[in-house]
Structure 1
Amino acid sequence: MRVRRTAKAVGDFVIEVTGEFVGEVILSLLACALLGCLVLAAYLSWSFSPRLTVAGAGLLGLFLAHGAWRTFRGPAKGRRRGLAAVAAAGFVLAAGTACFLLLYGSGCGCL
């Protein structure tokens, strides 16, 4: 009986470690692909028009700053509507992407 329990515990451990390893590999590949796409988009944008790239980056920065302001400021009367809700969602998406890339993209040796 002890041998069976031990064998089952070892088997469960091996399956869990293998699953975690495969999950880490998949997340690392996804982070490398995302980082590569962001670099490619910046390169293509810069090669098309440096002025529009800087202007677009500035507008995106203002949009994300507005979203951060709407996300972290105290609750106002009523609901968020229109641009404020979209800006807050964009900020949350950008912050989540940045955290994901910090955690998994930092060890990416593909770039």
Structure 2
Amino acid sequence: MPLRDRRAAKGIGDFLIDTVGEAVAEVILSLLACALLGGLALIAYLSWTFSPRLTIAGAGLLSLVLAHGAWRTFRTPTKGRRRGLAAVTAFGFTATAATALFLLLYATDCDCL
């Protein structure tokens, strides 16, 4: 087998490995997104069946925390670092935004719910 044939076979093999790897990663990420979406739906359902008033109050409090985190994240930075509540709410907002982006990208074609 000449050298160029070996290189061509190696190139085809690498391409197939990359393609299969990407397909497997896509399936795993989609399953993770479906599981996360199902878990969030289950938490909302169980919370509502336990106490609708407490669920609405909790959603309102979470909205205030996320709004404070967004405000702290996007406002003009002051001298020094964020401390205390500002750091916690900014982290909570960032984590929530990342989770929403993940669900937007991978759970849109989730037919499990």
What TM-score bracket applies, with the shorter chain setting the length? over 0.9
Name the SS of the counterpart of 1:77 in structure 2. Answer: coil
Identity of aligned residues (%): 72
Cα distance in 2 for residues equivalent to 1:12 and 1:84: 48
Question: Which of 20, 23, 30 lines up with 1:21 in the alignment?
Answer: 23
**SS of equivalent residue, structure 1 residue 92:** helix
Structure 2 residue 40 is the aligned partner of structure 1 residue 38: yes
- Extract structure 1 runs of 4+ deviating beyond 6 A: none
Q: CA deviation at 1:79?
A: 1.8
The answer for unaligned runs of 5 or more in structure 1 is none
- Could you tell me which residue of structure 1 aligns to residue 78 of structure 2? 76
TM-score, L = length of structure 2: 0.96
CA distance in 1, matches of 2:11, 2:80: 55
SS at 2:30's partner residue? helix
User: What count of residue pairs does the alignment treat as equivalent?
Assistant: 111
Amino acid at match of 2:93: F
CA RMSD of aligned residues (A): 0.6
Distance in structure 2 (CA, Å) of the matches to 1:109 and 1:57: 26
Structure 2 unaligned blocks of 5 or more: none
User: Displacement, 1:2?
Assistant: 1.6
SS in 1 for 2:111: coil
Question: After superposition, what is the alpha-carbon deviation per residue over 1:59-97, rounded to whole angstroms, capped at 9, x for unaligned?
Answer: 000000000000000011322111100000000000000
What do residues 19-66 of structure 1 show as CA deviations (whole Å, max 9, x unaligned)?
000000000000000000000000000000000000000000000000
